[in-house]
Amino acid sequence: MPLTSPSYGGIEAGGTKFVCAVGASPGDLRDETRIDTTTPDETLSRCIDFFLAREVDAVGIASFGPLDPDPPSPTFGYITTTPKPGWANVDFAGTIQRALNVPVGFDTDVNGAALGEYRWGAAQGLDTFLYLTVGTGVGGGGLVNGKLMHGLIHPEMGHIRVPQDRAVDPYQGACPYHGNCLEGLTSGVAIEKRWGVPASELPPEHPAWRLEADYLAHALANFACTLSPQRIILGGGVMDQSHLFPMIRERVANLLNGYIQNAAILDRMDEFIAPPGLGNKSGVLGAIALAERASGER
Ligand code: ZN
């Protein structure tokens, strides 16, 4: 046991803002700052200045993507094909590593949040679970058999297809690649474009929520059948509308129709589909958990 607690840097990198923090756990977050996402040069320089002014033993980056999380790959640590202007093919982890000269962990924002929930939040003690964010975008990550989900690249759960009845919902979808994929139908952007007001301004009785719950429930039922998760954690700005949870749980139970014979689904749906234990800190604490892992401490 070291005499002083370690000092990990975390970067939760989003399309509109970066959150940088130093700490070691939810009870030990010493410093935090927000940086607008502008150009890569400017944004990463500001992150580097923040960490240079504080001593850190390792840095974890939980980033928007798509990105390359595969250490042996020549483009490991890069943001790859993102449509975000200026950010495609940016060596994110390498730039941070060279400037700070400490170990750097790098993964998707949702895998980072999943790791944070595993370490300190709603997924403690589980080995197979999902973390899905429903916000400006939609994405999913998680652990399978105790390992963060990677493969060819990393999961893109926001871009699966769910049934859309155009007689009920004629909206063409907001995804620039697929139109009416899950993200295209359920993101905060999609809600605002479909109804003309931001999600936060739609009252709980608005038909938007029944539609939202129905699409998300189809996705969750598909994930439950595909990955057999022990829990599905739903975070992100849209899920701040907590009345969505009971609507989604009821619809998932209805879609699965008793087929998955396990008490987690049959009797404890309120735990099976749950909000993040770390609230809106999953992302930044997940980045700190990635740093902890990169440092070799865990
Ligand atoms: Zn899509």
Question: What confidence tens digit (pLDDT) does each residue in 30-76 have?
Answer: 999 999 999 999 999 999 999 999 999 999 999 999 999 999 999 99
Predicted pLDDT at 55: 92
Query: How much of the chain exceeds pLDDT 70, in percent?
Result: 99
Rounded Cα distance, 89 and 79, in Å: 5
Question: What confidence tens digit (pLDDT) does each residue in 90-129 have?
Answer: 999 999 999 999 999 999 999 999 999 999 999 999 999 9
- Report whether pLDDT(209) > 60: yes
CA of 156 to the centre of ligand 1 (A): 9
Q: How confident is the model at residue 84 (pLDDT cuts 50, 70, 90)?
A: confident
Predicted pLDDT at 2: 53
CA of 18 to the centre of ligand 1 (A): 23
Predicted pLDDT at 83: 81
Predicted pLDDT at 82: 85
Taking the complete model, does pTM exceed 0.75, yes or no?
Answer: yes
CA of 175 to the centre of ligand 1 (A): 5
CA of 95 to the centre of ligand 1 (A): 29
CA of 66 to the centre of ligand 1 (A): 12
CATH architecture type of domain 113-279: 2-Layer Sandwich (3.30)
CA of 8 to the centre of ligand 1 (A): 34
- The third-level CATH classification (topology) of the domain covering 8-102 is Nucleotidyltransferase; domain 5 (3.30.420)
CA of 72 to the centre of ligand 1 (A): 28
Per-residue burial over 220-259, b if 16 or more Cβ lie within 10 Å, else e, is bbbbbeebebbbbbbbbbbbebeebbebbbebbbebbeee
Burial degree of 58 (CB within 10 A; 0-12, 13-18, 19+)? buried
Predicted pLDDT at 214: 98
Residue extents of the structural domains in the chain: 8-102, 113-279
Could you tell me the CA-to-CA distances from 96 to 11, 51, 101, 207 in Å, in that order? 10, 10, 8, 45
Question: What confidence tens digit (pLDDT) does each residue in 191-208 have?
Answer: 999 999 999 999 999 999
CA of 43 to the centre of ligand 1 (A): 26
CA of 177 to the centre of ligand 1 (A): 5
**pLDDT averaged over the chain?**
96
Predicted pLDDT at 298: 67
Predicted pLDDT at 3: 58
Mean of pLDDT values over 18-26: 97
CA of 253 to the centre of ligand 1 (A): 26
**Which residues is 107 bridged to in the sheet?**
62
